[in-house]
Every structure is written in structure tokens, then in C-alpha cells.
Amino acid sequence: MRIASIESFLLEAPIAIPFGWSQGWIDRRHTGLVKITTDDGIVGWGEGLSSPAAALLHDGFAPFLLGADPVQRNGLWERMFHQLYNANLAGGFGGSAISAVDIALWDIAGKAAGLPICALLGGQVRESIAVYATGLYYTEGEFPDRLLDEARLYVELGFRGMKTKVGGLSVAEDIERVAAIREVIGPDIFLMVDANQSYNAATAIRIGRELDALEVFWFEEPVGAKDVDGYLQVKNALPLAIAGGENLRTRFECKEYIGRRAVDILQPDVVNVGGVTELHRVAQMANAFGILCNPHVWGSPVMIAASLHVAATIPSCPPARNPLPYQQEPVMEFDRTPSPIREKIATPFEQSGGFLAVPTGPGLGVEIDESAVAALSVARRRSS
Ligand code: CA
């Protein structure tokens, strides 16, 4: 089996109600997909492309990917990585380009073997993954009614946890929002807070003390994503769990956060860190250091499925007779913000009781609607 063609699709879809977080405000959603087709007609899908990542894919990777055996994922991963490493491009969008290809190669390998990706990874230790609702972003005129209605909805839908944002307002205003959410959801629902890198360590510690008083379960990206010493300063000053890692690429960028115990919860992202191959490696590294691995997910069903397959294989941390989500079991992000891309390109994933079932079909186990992909695409390119 050989790789016969590589196609990229950059997708964009406007949303009805714009929303924001500490670093941005959006009125449309984006993602980038790759479709790899083999000479015997097997199709694999991956995610993680942006415009510069698509250029790397077609101009840098395609010359050696075309004609290669797609099942040889480890060798192809190394070849992609080393092509970018010396140019200092394996971080950023380069890591995402590797991720997109890697996910598609795993989809192909699974379809060729007739097995889901989690089976190729050695099999699963759980059949469903606990998920929390990611939402409760800033919107125009949201507070308090729309924000608190959204929080109540997640409880009614059966979620055991949800995540909101800080860092877009003053500390006092943000604490008012978080306190109001805690008030309406009650004490038994896990509430997480994400600053998206908006603070220096001193301010993160100041707001972190107030978040802890509101029984916030984890404080995510309190400081700059690459500021490992800032993480350590915050983590050592606060009693609540510190989470981060969604922006890190490859095991080499994750190693300090794991080895220096700069986070309590590592959140690698399958379309940033290097695909299924690298997410699996990083999750195992974190597990050995007693650090929970809760995959970051903010994309289409391709990314959700890839994350579920790896999450299914992560051992309990630490080993436990009765491992529980949030204590020893991975808990995966389930983005509930508006996204036509997420809802249209495949049958959307539906949670039940705060869990998502791991797909059982071959490969990713996701059927892509190619007409929906074409309809949402604003740029396409093909190498063959
Ligand atoms: Ca985040």
C-alpha cells in the first residue's frame, strides 16, 4: 500500500453570536483537514492544518510522503520532524502539520487492519471517556442571564463538570462571574477556569487564591504557555490544581513541564503535539510522573475521535482499583461553543451522562461528509 494523493482543506464558518476569551474575539470558526488516499483506495483524515501548515504539507512533506507506505507511521513521523527541526519549525504550525498527517496515517492503518485506532495502540483500558463542557465564554451583554442559563443547561444535560474563562476582565469582575456560576451550579459540579495565558505569576497567584475559595477544580494556563518557571511559581503558591500544555508541540516541548512537575494536569492537544503518535507518547510520560493527562480538544469530529482513541489507552493515574474521573481517570474537553464545522462534517458526537463513547469502527471510526467539507472550504490544494 502506497500514498497516492494528499489533499488539504481550510474550513471556515461564521457563527451567530461572536464570543471571546482573554486573547481573542471571534465571529467565525476555522479548522484545516487533510485527506490522504492510498493506491488501493483507503482514505484517511487528519486535522490541524492552517494556511502555513498546508504549505509545509504540500511543499515540504508531500515529496517524500507520496509513494511511501502509510502504515510506517514512526518512520514518517521522524522524517517530518527532522525536516522541520533544524529550521526551528517543528514548534508552532509545523507541529500541527505533523499532527494532521499523523492522524490521517493512523486512520488509514486502522482501516487497512479493520481495527479502531485504540486497538492498534494496544487496546483500551476504558470504553468511554468522561467529558466536561467547555463554554461560558465572554459574549456581548451575557452577564448575568445568558451566562448563567448556559451553566444551568450543562447541569441539565448531565455534565459533571464545566469550564469558563478569566483574564478578559479585571480580577474583581472575573471573580464575580465565576462566583455567580458556582452559585447556580451548586457545590457538586466540577468547575474549571481557564486564563489562556493572560496573567503574570503574581496576578495568577492573586486570582488563584480567590478561585480556590470558590472550589475551582483546576486553574488552566495561568501564565504564558512557554513560561515553565512561571508555572512553577504559581503551582507552588496555590493549593488548587494547575493545568496547561495545549500549545506545546512534541515530547521535547512537553518534557520540562512533566519532568519539573510544572503542572498537575497536562493537556496536550492532538492537533498540536504531533498527532496520535506523539499524544500517546506524551500521555505515557506524564503517567509515569504521576501527572494526569486530560487532552485539550477544540476541533472537528476528526480531532475528537483521535483524542478519544488515545484517551482510551491512558492508564489510571496512579493505578487504582476504582479509578474515578477527575481523580485518576482522564477527563476530556468537550467544546460546546457554536461551531458549524463540528456539527456538519460528520455525525456530531453526543455525550451521555457526562461521557463520550470511544468509536468502535475501523481507524478513527468517523464517516466524513465530503460535500460538507467542500461546502465549508475556503482553500483547497492537492498533491499527487
Ligand atoms: Ca484552554
Give the model confidence (pLDDT) of 298-350 as tens digits: 999 999 999 999 999 999 999 999 999 999 999 999 999 999 999 999 999 99
Which stretches of the chain are assigned E, i.e. beta strand? 3-21, 24-38, 43-47, 128-134, 161-165, 190-194, 218-220, 241-244, 265-266, 292-293, 331-335, 355-357, 377-383
pLDDT tens, position by position, 274-305: 999 999 999 999 999 999 999 999 999 999 99
Cell of 91: 514548534
Cell of 135: 463554554
Tell me the residue type at 111: K
Cα separation, 261 vs 265, in Å, equals: 9
165 CA to middle of ligand 1, Å?
9
Low-confidence stretches of the chain (pLDDT < 70) are none
pLDDT, residue 269, reads 98
The closest alpha carbon to 346, from 47, 88, 14, 69, belongs to 47
pLDDT, residue 367, reads 98
- Segment 259-264 long-range contacts (CB within 8 Å, at least 24 positions apart): 259/289, 260/228, 260/232, 261/235, 261/289, 261/291, 262/228, 262/231, 262/232, 262/235, 263/231, 263/235, 263/291, 264/218, 264/235, 264/291, 264/292
Cα separation, 340 vs 46, in Å, equals: 18
88 CA to middle of ligand 1, Å?
25
Cα separation, 303 vs 100, in Å, equals: 9
118 CA to middle of ligand 1, Å?
25
Cell of 8: 488539504
Return the active site residues: 296
Q: Note whether 44 and 104 are within 8 A (CB).
A: yes
105 CA to middle of ligand 1, Å?
27
**CATH 3.30.390.10 is right for the domain spanning 3-114+370-383:** yes
pTM over 0.85, yes/no? yes
Question: Considering the domain 118-357, what is its CATH architecture?
Answer: Alpha-Beta Barrel (3.20)
pLDDT, residue 327, reads 96
Cα separation, 173 vs 166, in Å, equals: 9
Cα separation, 12 vs 51, in Å, equals: 12
Domain boundaries, the chain: 3-114+370-383, 118-357
194 CA to middle of ligand 1, Å?
6
**Strand bridging mode 190-194 / 218-220:** parallel
